[in-house]
Amino acid sequence: MDFKAISDRGLVLLGCGKMGSAMLAGWLKGGLAPGSVHVIDPHPSEWLAGTGVSVNGPLPAAPAVVVVAVKPQMMGAALPQLAAMGAGETLFVSIAAGTTLATYAEILGPRAPVVRAMPNTPAAIGRGITAIIGNARASAADLGLAEGLLAAVGQVVRLEEESQMDAVTAVSGSGPAYVFHLIETLAAAGVAEGLAPDLAMRLAKATVGGAGQLAEEAAEDPAQLRVNVTSPGGTTAAALAVLMDPEAGFPALLPRAVKAAADRGRELGK
């Protein structure tokens, strides 16, 4: 993306943990001038020292963008210090889970354009996916700017309503943890069948990683890919009979898990 507008007025990154660091690395690699970036973080990581960005220094009065990347429980203490930037000239992009657009309006005032986003942890390797939704003050240009910034760490999709964010959080935001647990349990099952732990884990990681990439790149949908690898009466069919059981398999288990995550997201947003 063209970083000129940001470079001229500056970008403030509030919080530079794993997700903030991943985004910052993507922006710098994409050509954002380090001198235009202002990081606020009480415990900055050592790698920031070599990037050329400003860390915990003076801030521009009206930067082009403020990216809020602190944990939700830190929001109450962190965001009010930027309330003076809520006059309408600065776009706020938030990746804080559970913090609603209404909450931003209460803290920043009604004139601040805000884009709420939900990325996920594969952003750390540029393979994330982020869903975004803007408030009434966010223009098409604001949404485009937010999308360009978030595209530095993966794909970006736009939502029609903020209420969809809880489902997004439950599917893609929390989803990597479900996949990591699948890898854990698949490897453990291999050990139970006689494989050495290191070999079982290597097989599980490569299988899940490769299958995920194939699912993204193949012309067929995942259901057809499943059929392609399943011979009638074969080994895969035997396993799928267990995993696809309507009462105890994935069709029953995953909806329960996703609903639990979505319900918790709604609770946190109140």
Q: Are residues 72 and 145 in the same domain?
A: yes
CB 186 within 8 A of CB 193: no
Name the one residue in this structure whose structure tokens are 């594969």.
122
165, 188, 221 — which closes off a domain?
165
Q: Are residues 208 and 148 in the same domain?
A: no
Q: Are residues 45 and 156 in the same domain?
A: yes
Residue 239's domain is classified under what CATH number? 1.10.3730.10
Q: Are residues 41 and 158 in the same domain?
A: yes
Rg value, the chain, Cα: 21
Please state the domain count of the chain. Answer: 2
Q: How far apart are CA 97 and CA 166, in angstroms?
A: 9
CB 145 within 8 A of CB 67: no
**Is residue 170, in this structure, part of any structural domain at all?**
no
Q: Are residues 48 and 95 in the same domain?
A: yes
Q: Are residues 147 and 189 in the same domain?
A: no
The pLDDT tens digits along the chain (270 residues) read 778 889 889 999 999 988 899 999 999 988 999 999 999 998 898 889 889 999 999 999 999 999 999 887 777 788 888 899 999 999 999 998 888 999 999 999 999 999 999 999 999 888 999 999 999 999 999 999 999 999 988 999 999 999 999 999 999 999 999 999 999 999 999 999 999 999 999 999 999 999 999 999 999 999 999 999 999 999 999 999 999 999 999 999 999 999 999 998 888 777
| Buried b / exposed e along 210-230 (16+ C-beta atoms within 10 A) | eeeeeeeeeeeeeeeeeeeee
CB 203 within 8 A of CB 190: yes
Q: Which of 186, 228, 227 lies closest to 208, judged by CA?
A: 186
Q: Would you list the DSSP string of 19-37?
A: HHHHHHHHHHHHT--GGGE
Q: Are residues 151 and 180 in the same domain?
A: no
CB 70 within 8 A of CB 98: no
Structural domain boundaries, residue 237: 175-268
Residues placed in the known binding site: 14-19, 56, 69-72
Residues placed in the known binding site for NADPH: 56
Q: Are residues 32 and 116 in the same domain?
A: yes
Residues placed in the known binding site for NADP(+): 14-19, 69-72
165, 189, 209 — which closes off a domain?
165
Q: Are residues 103 and 28 in the same domain?
A: yes
Residue 131's domain is classified under what CATH number? 3.40.50.720
- Sign of the alpha-carbon dihedral angle for 101, 107, 111, 113: negative
Dihedral angle at the C-alpha atoms of 57, 58, 61, 65, nearest 10 degrees? -10
Q: Are residues 10 and 137 in the same domain?
A: yes
Provide the CB-side half-sphere exposure for 178 (13 A, CA): 17
With a threshold of 0.85, does the pTM exceed it? yes
**Is residue 187, in this structure, part of any structural domain at all?**
yes
Q: Are residues 233 and 251 in the same domain?
A: yes
What residues form DSSP beta bridges with 134?
Answer: 115
